[in-house]
Structure 1
Amino acid sequence: MTNSVFSLGLGVGTQNNKGEWLEVFYAQPLLQPSEQLVGLIAEAVGYEGGNQAITVAKAQLQKLAGLLFDAEEKSQAKIAATLAEGNQPAVITILASDAAPETVAECYLKLHLLSHTLVKPHGVNLTGMFGVLPNVAWTNKGAIDLAELDDAQLKARCNGEIIDVLSVDKFPKMLNYVVPAGTRVGDASRVRLGAYLGEGTTIMHEGFVNFNAGTEGPGMIEGRISAGVFVGKGSDLGGGCSTMGTLSGGNSVVISVGEECLIGANAGIGLPLGDRCTVEAGLYITAGSKLNLLDEDRNVVEVVKARDLAGKSDLLFRRNSISGALEVLSNKSAIALNAELHSNN
């Protein structure tokens, strides 16, 4: 195998009674793996190219572990050996290209790439993912097919047990799969697999981060980071604030927050912000919002639409307390995050 491969992962997961994948865990997904590693995997499991999710037997995993140990590919060898010792179904997913995912295993590999911070939001092709991923009952007993949930609950009750259904969703909690280095998350249920949390990120209990979204870090997040939104270094999203994502009205416009920005409590944005911008608490600005552009003497220079300021830095968005008009002016006081809030000690 000489052609380069985009990504691969050795995984273990859950299947329903029909043998269909519900979810897959990849302990150490790889981006741009070595040709040697890909060649050894091809030898062990018969991979011949393209994007494939190959369900593997114990004997194949044992053979692969031996090949990898001999080739000094120790980290992946240990994973293969551990999978071989288990009793759960295992899969090796190899992506020759970053094409739209066609299987559950491919979707989960790409979500892992994001949450392992190997690729940034919008850095991997997720086209059609919603049609591929099944809705799953996420329970204290693991993932359960919705069609099999009633039977599972009955059997559990008959054994004096209770299945606690934590959510019904296409996406699990990120922390059950990945815990990024140097991060804090107050409520694990509010961060989906596929979120990107850079080192130094703190997600408070009311903060939320969707898939294909996240923070460069460090950052303090007490508001909502919707799908597709990426927040730059040193920015603060206040309690209850919102960012309009591609799934919540942003459409094809990529909403982002630059470095050292502050979105106040209960505020929101529907346009990309540059660096060192501040949005006053309680103020929601959409791309079509009309704003009075003020000069240094607080005189109105012109009326602009917010979309005309997309990506511009050093702006303060506020509402005039007397007239109620929306205003924008030069931001003279960029925020600085408290470094102690992002300490890993």
Structure 2
Amino acid sequence: KPDILWLDGEWDYPSDFWKTKELVAWFYNNAESPNEICVNDRLGKETRKKYGDFFTFEYETMDEIADFKWELCRGIGYSFGYNRAEGPEDYLTAEEIVKLLVDVVSKNGNLLLNVGPKADGSLPETQVERLLEVGEWLKINGEAIYGSHPWLIVGEDDIRLLQKDNTIYVITFKWPEKELVLDILRASNKTKVRLLGLNEDLKWTQDGNNFIIFMPKQKIGKYAYIFEIENTYPNVLVVNDIFLNNDVIKAGEPFTLFVSIANPSPLEIRKNLTLELEIKWRGLVVKKMEENIKIILPAGGKLVHKVDLVIDEPGTYEVVINSKFSREFKVT
């Protein structure tokens, strides 16, 4: 029996026309293990990214960690089926697939990668070669991908972060030549560091806010390099909510935006936090601000930071903090 009901082609008619409510009810009511099956969001033209066990995206990804399960669906090239007009240069390379996979998983997503068979059922040789290369990478690094979930933050630049129990997987797309410096972790007396593919522990040190990993003399692996780090504490400040003093704001009059900041660590954190704020109107950025805040928060502590704003023109706006948290408000 199927584990996933993956619907498509829903965009012309609503779910009542397709009778997908009845179909989904039948699917769940007849499943041997209802908790182990799922349905996507393509139930009708009104349902995509609104209803379903997971949301589907085509050829697009998320900027930050989503608070819902989602799936990136795309071809290895620009087409879902075999396209004779596409050559090897049009396909994702193995390196691009690996980096895409890591990025998607670090944002609470799943990668559904399509290959296009020819008329005789065979797969293009180049596509097969790319998939086999990705498989070789997964043989070494798959433990960080399967069964893991996003950490507190995605990471930044060429680093992505995943977690499984007490283990943090730090994934870097560039090989650090001598050392890898992380200001997001604090070591404990039980901390261990291992590079996947190398059967020995790596040396490390804690220097203030910096957790420093010393690299092996010889480069190991390719595409993306995964450090398995056990028994550390978070050393990050997390923006977990934004709210306004009033849902309706008057044009030309000051109002206050409140930003909730939390310390998820069992240790006190003393760090600078950069808040990047964007005000959008119809998707266009009309105001942009950046503020660097020096914060001291006790273990598990929270604080609310105030930002004073003025919007001169009436309309419906969206405020976005650090590309993640957003809130819509009206200016009259």
Q: What is the TM-score normalised by the length of structure 2? A: 0.28
Q: Which has the higher strand share?
A: 2
Q: What is the TM-score normalised by the length of structure 1? A: 0.28
